[in-house]
Structure formats: structure tokens, C-alpha cells
């Protein structure tokens, strides 16, 4: 059977070609309104092609559906169609129809369309009678229980609190719990339980298959002293057998490799040993130097105690006072005020202590150095929770100079050519000696600074 794919438009050129190659017994020539020749079809012998037509599968002639009483719907069920003349000439030709399933499908589609139309009419009637607003129902709503008929959210459950209209972040994106269908929820629970049971059954069947498997065709596990068959996609029956075999191989190979490593010395290890020896040598040198500085510290204390025992000489006091130049003035490096040369050192020391006490140098940890006495101040400040890290001799904040009595001698060791000691001491009263002001403090600070430099190398 042949059906025209679309309505055929008449053209004189195509009509002339069809008239030349058409059968002269069946097809004649007709005359159109304009007087032109056109091919004719069907038993009516008319050139009309603007209606439904069906073609014969034997003689290839086209027929109007109205002339032979065949509609377009009926033609869909026909697979091969032959005209009356061909069937009369050749009796073996018969009209063949399509399988009945196609007809059943068409009927089912018509029924579905009718049912959808009926359902849509019912929904329209129900929505108009119940409320003006249309209630959208998803596949998880039965439309009959109380939860499905509810239209407002409770505003109290966890899903409502998550909604934007109730001030939530809108992350869960779930419907109000009171609006969730109870009937479908029960069905979902039943379906989940059924799935769980089915999985349990499948596992039991799988275990039975493994038990009933013929192990004679499987290869043996490669694990040590194991006689079990190996798994399908592995060389071992379990992970433990594989780990045991790997451990045995390591125990066999590792001692030999260790001996090889020991025979071939490592360059980095040798360099590390040399570096460690050099560091230990430097530490030993620093310790010996620290002991030397500690010895000098005790010698200085002995010199100071010996100097305190000297007697005051009045002639040195008068000579020193006559030799001072009273007209010469200098300026303080801290405050910038002009000062008398006689009291210049005292004034500068006091200004420095004043400004230095306004700052603080601290650490969270106290000083712990073996063999070092009286090095850092280490006074704890509870407000800043730190320990003072100035030298104890020079700290103006926590250690002040004691008052000097009137009969105390200066006691500074005298030198010749700057560095050579003469063995004599300054015997001027300490209050009046401006040349050797705070000489004990400065000598102690010099020794302590040297000790700090040695400690930093440790």
C-alpha cells in the first residue's frame, strides 16, 4: 500500500512527463480549467489530487479514498492494498492488514485521551467548588488524606523554620511535616522494607552459591601454609594471607639489604657526624671561656673588696680639686642641658637611668645558665607576665645604687699608659671623685657583657 506523503500540487511539466510514462489503458488525459492537459487517476478518471488517495501495490495506480470507500484511518491498518482490477486478474493477490496490536494500541491511546479529558473536567469542577486557588499535587500526594487537603504551613516544625518566609536559610527545602501525605509515606516504608528483604535474600542466595561452588577448578591460595582456594579476582583467599606472604618476603630480603647499606657508608651521615663534632667542639670552647670569665668575675670582686680597705689621703683630694677647670661647660647627651664638668658624669648617669627605666626588656621565660652567677635581672612583672632581661648591674628599673657614706674611699685601681696597672688605688673620697665615678659598676658590666656573648654561642 502506498499513501501520498503530502498533498500533491499540480504542475504542467510533471503532468506531461506522467502522461508520457503512464499506462495508456488506465491513465488518460483530462483537460483543466485553463485548457491544459493533466494526468487522471482513480476509477472516476479525474485529475483531482487534493484529497486522500491510496495506491495499488501491483499496478501503481492511485485511487481516491471517497471513490472506493476507504478512509485515512482505515488505511493505517492496511499493510498491502490491491485494486479491484488487479485482484480480478490475479486471484492470489489479497489485501494484507497490520498486526492487531497496532489496533489495540490505537484503542488504548484513544481510551487514555478520553480518560484524561474526563479527569481534567473533574479537576476543574472540584477546584471551582472547593476553592478558587488551584492546589498542585505531586506524585507523592494521594489527594484524600487530611495532610493532602491542608494548604497552610504550621510554621513550627523544623522544615517550616528552614523556609525563607519564616526566616530560615532554605537549605533543607522540604514541605511542612503536617502537609506530607501519610498514605504515600506508609507505601514508601513498605517498599523500603521489601527492598531490604530482597537484598537479604540475594545475599543468602549468593552465600549458598559460594558454598555449593566446585572448588576443584579454582587455584590454591599463595599464602604461607594456606590450603584454601583463591578468590575469583585474586591470588589469595583473604587479605591476611597476602599480608603474611609480604611480611615473610620482607624478613628474608631486609637483613641482606641492611648489610649492604652498612658496608656502603652514607655521605650525608658522615657529613652529619663531622658537623656534630664541630658543634660539640665549639660548645666545649664556649664552656671553657665561660669558666674563664667566671674566674675574672671573682677576681674583680676581690679587687673591689681590697680597694674598699684603703685609707683616704687628704693631699690627693686638695690637688684634684685645685686642678679642675671651672670655666669649661659641657651639655648632657640625654637632656641637652649645660652642666658643670665636675658633676657631668653624675648628671649623665642619672639622666640615662631616668629614661632607661621608662622602657622594659622582658621575656616569658627565666634565665637558666649553668655556672653563671648574677647575669640578668630576671625580676618578674605580673602585669606583663615577663622576666626582666637587662644586666643586673645596669638595670635602672629594679636595682638602684646604694648611698655612699662620707668616709668611703674611691678605690679605683691606678693605671700607667692606659693599660698597665701600677698596683696603687685612688684614695680620694668616693663622693668627691669625679674622675672614677661608678667604676665598679662599669667593670662588672664589662665582664657580664663578655659572658653574655659566650653564652649566646652555646
Most confident range (mean pLDDT) of 78-82, 148-152, 318-322 is 78-82
Would the pLDDT of 288 be above 70? Answer: yes
Looking at residues 377-400, what average pLDDT do you find?
Answer: 84
Would the pLDDT of 33 be above 70? Answer: no
Would the pLDDT of 228 be above 80? Answer: yes
Looking at residues 55-80, what average pLDDT do you find?
Answer: 89
Give pLDDT, residue 77.
Answer: 87
Q: Which of these ranges, 183-192, 224-233, 397-406, has the smallest mean pLDDT?
A: 183-192
**C-alpha angle with apex 277: 273 to 279, nearest 5 degrees?**
115
Of 87 and 11, the one with more pLDDT: 87
Its sign, for the CA torsion 306, 308, 310, 316, is positive
**Cα dihedral: 410, 412, 413, 419 (round 10):** -150
Q: What is the mean pLDDT of the chain?
A: 76
**Cα dihedral: 124, 126, 130, 132 (round 10):** 0
Give 409's strand partners.
429
Of 63 and 27, the one with more pLDDT: 63
Distance CA(340)–CA(331), nearest Å, equals 9
Looking at residues 361-373, what average pLDDT do you find?
Answer: 76
Looking at residues 260-279, what average pLDDT do you find?
Answer: 86
DSSP class of 412: P
Would the pLDDT of 346 be above 90? Answer: no
Cell (9 digits) for 13: 511539466
The upper half-sphere exposure of residue 356, i.e. CA atoms within 13 Å in the direction of its Cβ, equals 17
- CB within 8 Å of 351: residues ≥ 6 apart: 332, 333, 334, 335
Looking at residues 377-383, what average pLDDT do you find?
Answer: 86
Amino acid at each position: 500500500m502506498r499513501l501520498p506523503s503530502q498533498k500533491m500540487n499540480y504542475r504542467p511539466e510533471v503532468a506531461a512527463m506522467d502522461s508520457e510514462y503512464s499506462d495508456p489503458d488506465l491513465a488518460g488525459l483530462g483537460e483543466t480549467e485553463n485548457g491544459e492537459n493533466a494526468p487522471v487517476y482513480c476509477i472516476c478518471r479525474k485529475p483531482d489530487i487534493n484529497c486522500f488517495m491510496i495506491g495499488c501495490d501491483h499496478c501503481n495506480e492511485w485511487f481516491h479514498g471517497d471513490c472506493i470507500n476507504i478512509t485515512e484511518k482505515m488505511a493505517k491498518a492496511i499493510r498491502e492494498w490491491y485494486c479491484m482490477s488487479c485482484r480480478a486478474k490475479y486471484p492470489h493477490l489479497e489485501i494484507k492488514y497490520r498486526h492487531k496490536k497496532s489496533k489495540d494500541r490505537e484503542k488504548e491511546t484513544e481510551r487514555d485521551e478520553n480518560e484524561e479529558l474526563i479527569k481534567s473536567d473533574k479537576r476543574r469542577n472540584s477546584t471551582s467548588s472547593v476553592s478558587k486557588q488551584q492546589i498542585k499535587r505531586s506524585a507523592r500526594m494521594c489527594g484524600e488524606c487530611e495532610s493532602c487537603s491542608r494548604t497552610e504551613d504550621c510554621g513550627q516544625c523544623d522544615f517550616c523554620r528552614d523556609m525563607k518566609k519564616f526566616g530560615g536559610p532554605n537549605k533543607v527545602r522540604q514541605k511542612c511535616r503536617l502537609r506530607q501525605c501519610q498514605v504515600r509515606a506508609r507505601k514508601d516504608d513498605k517498599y523500603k522494607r521489601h527492598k531490604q528483604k530482597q537484598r537479604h535474600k540475594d545475599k543468602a542466595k549468593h552465600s549458598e552459591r559460594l558454598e555449593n561452588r566446585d572448588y576443584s577448578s579454582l587455584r590454591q591460595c599463595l599464602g604461607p601454609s594456606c590450603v584454601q582456594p583463591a578468590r575469583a579476582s585474586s591470588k589469595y583467599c583473604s587479605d591476611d594471607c597476602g599480608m603474611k606472604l609480604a611480611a615473610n618476603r620482607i624478613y628474608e630480603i631486609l637483613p641482606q639489604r641492611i648489610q649492604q647499606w652498612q658496608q656502603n657508608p652514607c655521605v650525608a651521615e658522615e657529613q652529619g657526624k663531622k658537623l656534630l663534632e664541630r658543634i660539640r667542639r665549639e660548645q666545649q670552647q664556649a664552656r671553657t671561656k665561660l669558666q674563664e670569665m667566671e674566674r675574672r668575675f671573682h677576681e674583680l670582686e676581690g679587687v673591689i673588696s681590697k680597694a674598699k680597705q684603703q685609707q683616704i689621703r687628704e693631699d690627693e683630694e686638695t690637688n684634684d680639686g685645685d686642678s679642675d677647670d671651672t670655666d669649661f661647660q659641657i651639655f648632657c647627651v640625654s637632656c641637652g642641658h649645660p652642666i658643670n664638668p665636675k658633676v657631668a658624669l653624675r648628671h649623665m648617669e642619672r639622666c640615662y637611668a631616668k629614661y632607661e627605666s621608662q622602657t622594659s626588656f622582658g621575656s616569658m621565660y627565666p634565665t637558666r645558665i649553668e655556672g653563671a652567677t648574677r647575669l640578668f635581672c630576671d625580676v618578674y612583672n605580673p602585669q606583663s607576665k615577663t622576666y626582666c632581661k637587662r644586666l643586673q648591674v645596669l638595670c635602672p628599673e629594679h636595682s638602684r645604687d646604694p648611698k655612699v657614706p662620707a668616709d668611703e674611699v674611691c678605690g679605683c685601681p691606678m693605671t700607667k699608659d692606659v693599660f698597665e696597672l701600677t698596683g696603687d688605688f685612688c684614695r680620694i673620697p668616693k663622693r668627691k671623685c669625679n674622675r672614677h665615678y661608678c667604676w665598679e659598676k662599669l667593670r662588672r658590666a664589662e665582664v657580664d657583657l663578655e659572658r653574655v656573648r659566650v653564652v649566646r654561642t652555646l
